[in-house]
A and B are shown apart, each in its own frame.
Chain A
Amino acid sequence: MSILDQFLAGATFRTTTPSFEAGEEIEVYVTDYDEADGDLYALVGETRLSFVDGSRDLVGCRVLARVESFDDDAHRGTVAHLETLDRGSF
């Protein structure tokens, strides 16, 4: 990233529901585990990405994940856990 890009990065009005493409690899913090439907998920803004695999121990961890499917209208998708990067700060 050039120096100018670093200064200008993020200088837009960003949506609360970002979109993803199937096959995209992303780094996310795992937000929570929903007891009721056994759903491990990460919120990116208010877009909800559910893990097709992985245990509840991952809550709070920063992980590398691959987007498996994404529904742009519902702002929901599924992701596969590839690697746990760290436990997240605090």
Chain B
Amino acid sequence: MADTPSDESPEVDAISGPDVDRIEFYGGRWTSVLPIALFVLWAIVQSGLFRIGDTTGLVAGMLVSLIVGMFFVKGDWTDYANTIFDGMTKRVAATAVVAWLWAGMFANTLQAGGFVGGLVWAADAAAVGPALFPAVTFVLAALLATGIGTGYGTTVAFTALFFPAGILLGANPVLLFGSILSGAVFGDNLAPVSDTTIVSAVTQDADIGGVVASRFKYAIVAAVFAFAAYVVAGGAMPGLDISQQAQDLFIENSEPAGLVHLLSMLVVIVTAVMGRHIVEAVSWGLVVAVAFNLVFGLAPLSAVLLFRVPDTSVAAGAVAGLPVVEIVDPGNAGVTGSLYSGAAGFFPLIVLVLLIIAGSEIMIRGGGFAAIQDWLLENVATGVRSAETTMVVGTAFVNSMITINTAAEIAIAPYIARIGQKYNINGYRRANILDANTSALGYIFPWAGGVLVGFATMQGLPDQYEWFTEAMIVNPIQVWPFVFHGWLLFFVFLLSALTGFGLEYTTDRRSDEVSRV
């Protein structure tokens, strides 16, 4: 996922074992796929066909899909209803929500402090033109994601900060969004503190250090090709036609001072690498960012948080002098600032994701997952090469269906262990196949959490910059071919499975116990 680092043991127990209530459907266990399948169809029609990128519209789609699914349940519908509750209260869902809220506040505060202006200044000074900008963005996003361990957080930060800078410099928006998502995939896959890395290691009985070291060879091959692809595509794909006047004005007014927020980012990376929880790491970054904004005069406190108190309020007179208060007409009352808008931007997405996790849980308890896996085991995984290919394709498929990739990974992990152990495939190798495809496919399709969170962030940009119009927002359905690192990682593993590159058996070397990490 998206993934948030955690020093706790991941919820491997979230896998629905045989002891949980099963749901029976008319038409058999395949029918349990219906809510998710209907939603995917809705998402394709709404965002692909109609070109409406409204997240709340997708929420309506998921609600309708969950209701339709209920009519196919045999017997008492209570179990179905309760499964919706169980899915929505899963810890992985909460983990993603927390990562988005914190990353949103942090990125917006950096934005208020002129970080984008600083980036534009730096890119201009270093002569990084529009052609190179996506490739450079990919490398920097990959570094941040590897440092902080959250691909979703990286997507939020880079879409809020690098995306507008790149657009202004003339980079192609779709390609640029793809490069941000690619960086997030790289970090999700490789970061030792990423949730997906931890889940992959724990579920396949391997230690995290060994898992990270052994997956480096695949990640770096994919990354080198992805970088080259961004350089080539950056030269070939034109940017948007932004009014030259607005562009010149912004570049002229871009000051290096905002670059001080590189230190705010460094605080997050260092605290995360030191093993602190992501909530703690980002909170420290946020404190430092607010302090920098105030000390260096980059933004006033009111840009971070502002209560617009109506003049009719009894307290109006008493609080009028406070830096976080503005007295306004009753019609303009409200709360604003980077903390407010940074968090609020994710509210529809949070609801959507909780509902999608509920739909996935229905698919798990209804046996849809088991049906897919059984079919694969009986018909496809009949030798070691085909077993590995099944592991790659199966993981990719499940991750393309379930929005939060950590949730998808937890659901498929037992099957990967079972198929792999049948041929004594080493735990490191199993963990690598599981995590690479989990990371990659979580950032490609229009309904993937990574894509949606970037899209949600982008929708806040027209309010931030006068020159940024609605037309500059990338529709989620446009970006899938351009997440180069995601696709390359998938193909690297497909080739590895077919050729035996990187294959190790349990007899070749023993993976250390997880507890020793």
Contacts and interface: CB of A to CB of B under 8 A. Distances in A.
Chain A binding surface SS class: loop
Q: Which 6 A-B pairs have the closest CB atoms?
A: A90-B414, A14-B503, A6-B213, A29-B421, A10-B504, A45-B384
A53 B504 CA distance: 27
A60 B421 contact: yes
A89 B384 contact: no
Given A13-B500, A18-B505, A89-B203, A8 B423 contact: no
A36 interface: no
| Most A C-beta atoms less than 10 A away, residue of B204, B502, B510 | B502
Interface of B: 15, 203-205, 209-210, 213-214, 216-217, 383-385, 413-414, 417-418, 421-424, 426, 428-429, 499-510
Interface string A3-32: 100111111111110101000001111011
Given A16-B384, A89-B417, A45 B424 contact: yes
B423 A12 contact: no
A88 B505 contact: no
A31 B387 CA distance: 14
A71 interface: no
Interface of A: 1, 3, 6-16, 18, 20, 26-29, 31-32, 42-46, 60, 62, 88-90
B505 A45 contact: yes
A42 B424 CA distance: 8
Contact of B429 (A10, A27, A46): A10
A6 B424 contact: no
Nearest to B502: A10
A14 B424 contact: no
A51 B491 CA distance: 38
A60 B15 CA distance: 19
Contacts of A45: 384, 423-424, 503, 505
Nearest to B424: A44
Given A15-B500, A16-B383, A18-B505, A10 B214 contact: yes
Contacts of A8: 217
Contacts of B499: 13
A16 B214 contact: no
Contacts of A29: 421-422, 424, 506
Nearest to A14: B503
Contact of A7 (B203, B213, B413): B213
Contacts of A16: 383-385, 500
Contacts of A13: 499-501, 503
B506 A27 contact: yes
A19 B204 CA distance: 24
A46 B421 contact: no
Nearest to A43: B423
B398 to A, nearest CB: 15
Contact of A26 (B15, B209, B507): B507
Contact of B424 (A9, A10, A28): A28
Contacts of A14: 500-505
A5 to B, nearest CB: 9
A44 B217 contact: no
Contacts of B15: 90
Contacts of B209: 6
Given A13-B499, A16-B385, A90 B417 contact: yes
Contacts of B205: 89
B507 A20 contact: yes
Given A10-B508, A12-B502, A88-B417, 6 more contacts: A3-B213, A7-B213, A10-B426, A11-B217, A13-B503, A89-B417
Given A16-B383, A89-B417, A9 B504 contact: yes
